[in-house]
Each structure stands twice: as C-alpha cells, then as structure tokens.
Amino acid sequence: MPTRKKQPSRTTKPTAKESDLDRFRETPDGEFLTTDQGVRVSSTDDSLKAGPRGPTLLEDFHLREKIMRFDHERIPERVVHARGAAAHGTFQVYRSLSKYTRAAFLTDPAAKTPVFVRFSTVAGSRGSADTVRDVRGFAVKFYTSEGNFDLVGNNMPVFFIQDGMKFPDLVHAIKPNPRKEIPQASTAHDSFWDFISLTPETAHMVMWVMSDRAIPRSYRMMEGFGVHTFRLIDPAGKARLVKFHWKPLLGTHSLVWEEAQQIAGKDPDYHRRDLFEAIEAGAPAEYELGLQVVDEADVLKFGFDLLDATKLLPEELVPVERVGKLTLDRNPMNFFAETEQVAFCVGNVVPGIDFTNDPLLQARLFSYLDTQITRLGGPNFAELPINRPIAPVHNNQQDGFGRQTINGGVANYSPNSLGDNFPKPASPKEGGYKHYMERIDGQKIRERSDSFGDHFSQARMFLDSMTDVERTHLTEALCFEIGKVERLPVRQRVIDAILAPIDEALAATVAKAVGSSRDKAATKAPAKGQRTKTMAPSPALSIIRPDGGSIATRRIAMLVAEGFAGRSLAAVKAALEKGGASVELISTDLGTVKSADGADAEAVRTFMIAPSVMYDAVFIADGQASADALAGTDDAVRFVGEAFRHCKAVAALGAGRTLLTAARIATDQGKDQDPGLIVETAPGTVATRFMAGIARHRHWARQGKAKPRPPLEP
C-alpha cells in the first residue's frame, strides 16, 4: 500500500515550491493534540470538575476554547438545529405546583404564559429536508412574569454523550465530510459510525435514533423531553430533582422509513407545512407538560446516575405527573425575524428552577450564550423582539452591536449614589434569583464518575421495550445506516463494540446484512461500562398503541374520477370532517369533476402533485365509471397500492373496490380481516369503520404482506 505523503504542518517552514496557501496546511498524523495556543492536551473527553460528580469549573480553558471554537464554526445559520419551524402560543398550569417550586408561572393556575416554540432537525443545514432520520429539537421559550425561562430539549429523553467536552467531536462526526460536504442531513456515513463505535456511551442514544422516534409523523405528534435532570426549588428552599416531558395530545406517531425518504424528495418542507397549515386551519398543536419529581437524595437510587444524560428515568419507576397544557395557535408573521432570530439559552431560568451538575448541561450553559454572539451579531440579541422578556429589564449593560435600548439615568454602574443606587439588586423575598446552596467539596479533576459507567443496560432496556414491529424497523434502520459505511473495520467495530453488548441477535442480524461477521469466541472480556445488569422493559417507550386515538387533523385523500357517486362521497366526507380530519379530493385533473348523480365536486390535487405519502389514509369513491377510470390510471393504482403497503387505512365504497383489485389488494379477507382495509356498500357503515381504521394510525399486521405492484411498462 502506498504511503500517504505527509502535508507540511503550519509550523513547517514553507519551501520555494509551496504556494502561499500550502504554508497553512496541516495534518495531525503523528502529532499530539494541543490547544490553539500550542499547549498539549492530556484529555479531551472530560471537563474539569470539582470531584467526579461535581460542577464543571470555569477555569477549564480547554473546555471553553473547544466549545467556543465549535460554537463559531458557521455563520449565520446555527451550527446544529439549523432547520426549524416555530409557533406562538400559551402555557397554563392545571394547579399550583408550589409544593415543588416557587416559579410564578408554575404556581398560578389563572396565568396564561406566552410561549414561543421552535422545532428543528439537528444534523442538516437550513436547506435540508424535514423528514430525514434525525433527532428533533423541541425548544420552548416561556415569557414569564419573572423573566424568560428556556426549556431547550429534544424529542428523545437521552443524548449521545455524557460530557459537553465531547460535543464538538460528536457534531463533527455527524456533519458532512469536510472534504466533500456530503452526505447532507444523514448519519449513514463512515465518520458518524466511526465515532459511535469508539464511544460506548452513545449506545443508548443510537437505539433511539435508529427507532421510529427519529422519523416523526409531524411536530404535532412528537414527544419532547428536557433531557437533563434539573432542580425545582420550593418556597422553603428545599430542592427536588425533576425531568421535564412534553406529551402531545394527538399521540406520538411516526412515518415509515420508505415514506420518509419519499417525502424528503416530494415535499422537503413537510413538517414545516404540516405545523403551519394546521394552525392556520384552527387546529392548534397541543401538549401537556409532565414532571418526574424525585428527592435529591434519590439521585443514585434507581441503579444509574440521574445526572447522566445518556440515561432516562423509566415512567414505570417514577410516573409522569401531567401538570399543565401548552397550546400553539399562532404562526409567526416573519420567519427570519422570529423563527430564525430566536435565541434559546439553557441558562435562562427563573426563581424556583435551577441546574444540576450534569456535565453535559454545565457545558451547554456556556455554549448557548456564546453561540448567539456570533450568530446574531453581538451581545444585544436579547433585545430582538422575539427574545425580549415581558418582564421589565433594568441593568447597566451598555452599547455594542445592535443596541436598541436607549438608556436613561445618571449612572451606569453599581453601586452608585448619583442615581440612588438604582437599578438595585433584589433580595429573594423581592423576587431575586437565588442559586441552590449545594455543598461542593472535591479535587479538581478530569475524570468520569464511576456512576456514569454502565453504557448498555438502558440501551438493552429500550430494545426490549419495543414491539416486534418497532424492533424490525430499528433493525432495518441499522442495516441501512451501517451498510452505507464504506470501511469494513468500522462496520465490524460497530457490530462488536456497540450492538453485541446490547443484544447478540441484533448484532448477528445486522452483521449478516452489512457483510460483517459476529464471532462470539473472538469477543474480548467485557470492558468497563458494558452491560452489567438487566432492566425491566418500559412499555411507555413504545409508540405503538393498539387502542388508537383521534382522527383530528389527519389528512385524508378521496380518490375520484368522472362518474363517481357524489352524494355518498359527500356523506363520508362530512363524517370525516366532523371528526376533525382534513379531507382533499384527488383526481387526474384539477377543478370540477362530474358525478353520476349531479353532486359534482372539486378536485384540489392531482396524482402528479399529491403522492400517497402526503396522506394518512385513502378513500375510493363509489361509481363504476369513476372506479374503472381510476383502475386504468397508473398513478391512481400506485397511489392506493403504496398507501396499503405503508399500512394506512384504505376504504372503498361500492364499485371503488375495482381500484383495489387493480392494485393487487385482496378484498376477500376471510377470517384474517384487516381492520384497516374497509370495503362496504353503505356510506354510513364505511364512514364509521374508516374512522376507526384511521384512528389506529397504522395497521402493522399488514407489514410484509402487501405485494408490490410490478414496475410500469416503459
């Protein structure tokens, strides 16, 4: 194998043959890791803390430099969470939570707190697609009477890493190859899986990202989590640990992988459009705030460390208490001014809410504030309209880029006598923020707490909590992602170092699919952090619910052609809309479609511009002439066949079954009746059964049974 020519480092004296640019090239081959000042670094995995479980220290110059440089890598879009959508709304607590916290917005049931919520993908640029496999951001800015509180979370309750020191490494590995700038918004490449295979703490999060949680049906049907463990401080000063949850009232639902890939090409703005159009139609996005509250002394009670961001607290151990409602009912007036300029900062808290020593959270406290300075052009980003609190602001901050406040007064310092010492500090009784007085006693050290050592127990618990359908999807996602990795050693290391400690059967299945091997005899003795205990499955982690839910805001496609039965279609359409569904008629051409009984209708979409993946369910109108025309239209046949393959509810009234036959969908179900395939002759009966089928979201028993239609003739 030819040896790679070593490029000159920036410390190498340039030769006469080198260009001016060459003298700035460098390669890390054979070199030590250093800071930007040339100081060699002894560790780049753990931040400097006061004891293994203590808070991160501000004097950690390596952490601050590493995070600062990472925060300022891209302008003007966000380094991560660049692609987003947002909405305004309100939050109202159901009952006073004064037993937990003194935060005013959580103790006054009469108060409606304004909020602004931004949803986002993590890995892609602003121009990437909405439906890629990725973590979703779920960031909420509460404009409370005591100041802004930002709950900056995700749609998954855990994260890849335990210490913020590793965040730049993680994101560099996720992002496109720096030489090629591809692939965009995808983790199916060597860099990501190389990092994963060498970082066992990522095992649990990998299970989440490969699950259906990573391809949500919409932002309105997506859970949210605060990820970290925070503190709530009650009026008496007692602290309790808390995990924050957002529970969507429409339920938690996903796309299927093939569907997500098609939507990315056909409508890359799918999630943005869904949120915007639902709110415009008067259907707000609604969530309930849930809390898991535990005593401070129980931080290690459950067999893992609650300060470890790669761990979740199973709802079966501590139930989620639903305490309030978030309602998003107003779209932004200007995307840039609001959605793009909103600045979330993890450090924005109000009295009654405080931080813990989670080392990932501690790094975020620095990172978010630092990031806004570059992204929004200076230190005055809090004065932008979308970021301004409703609480009055009085301080001695002054000048700088983008200053909007016109300061009055005679003194801009504290203490002062010229202005009678105003603005003056407020005592806790006067609403002043008081940090929780946690006792800190530890040596300065770069070390991971032993309580953070188990990386595989919860990953296995998550896998064991999945239904067979979800486990199949997760396995297929791993086969797809790892199959995209070009380097065999990386593929092999993922199998042996990450998947095998989680589940041998999973590792063997993926290994076979990606051309790797799984030799148990060659497996080394378990390393520190490998699975040491078995945790009971947590049914709450599964998003497949057999009892179904609401059809509210579900998009229903009604397929029609000339000669359809107009009155029966109108009756079914009225029933669906009464249930809250959004119904659209689709035909070969836009405009008026003639019916067989004088009840003509308007087709608002055509098969060319509205594929089945854009809809939750499909209805085929009665009328033999219409059914025959649809059965002879390849796009219509493909439309209904694809919807059936994606396990959606499909209904045909009367002669509409002709299209099902053309799509090779058997309508004589016998004893194995599919509740999501409805063939009826009476409009009332078909509407009732169809709505019940839609409420189930998907009919997974059909998975793998749908016969793909042969390719069209050229």
Least confident of 388-397, 540-549, 662-671: 662-671
Has 334 been annotated as catalytic?
no
CA distances, 279 to each of 115, 142, 149 (Å): 15, 19, 24
Out of 88, 148, 154, 357, the active site residue is: 154
Q: Is 392 exposed, middle or buried (0-12, 13-18, 19+ CB in 10 A)?
A: exposed
198: pLDDT strictly greater than 60: yes
4: pLDDT strictly greater than 60: no
Q: Which of 449, 222, 228, 452 is nearest to 353 (CA)?
A: 228
How does residue 14 score in pLDDT terms, banded at 50, 70 and 90?
very low
Angle (deg, nearest 10), helices 190-197 and 167-174: 140
How does residue 156 score in pLDDT terms, banded at 50, 70 and 90?
very high
Task: Give the rounded percent of residues in the chain with a pLDDT score beyond 90.
Answer: 73
Taking only the tens place, the pLDDT of each residue in 279-305 is 999 999 999 999 999 999 999 999 999
Mean pLDDT of the chain: 90
Q: What is the mean pLDDT of residues 640-656?
A: 97
- pLDDT score, position 648: 97
Distance CA 373, CA 368 (A): 9
Residue with tokens 């970290």: 228
How does residue 102 score in pLDDT terms, banded at 50, 70 and 90?
very high
Domains of the chain with CATH codes: 57-383 (2.40.180.10), 464-541 (1.20.1370.20), 555-702 (3.40.50.880)
146: pLDDT strictly greater than 60: yes
- pLDDT score, position 155: 98
Out of 62, 81, 189, 646, the active site residue is: 81
Most confident of 223-237, 408-422, 530-544: 223-237
Has 407 been annotated as catalytic?
no
- pLDDT score, position 158: 98
How does residue 668 score in pLDDT terms, banded at 50, 70 and 90?
confident
Residues 6+ apart with CB under 8 A from 81: 118, 120, 121, 122, 137, 139
CA distances, 387 to each of 38, 80, 383 (Å): 38, 19, 6
Indicate the pTM of the whole model.
0.90
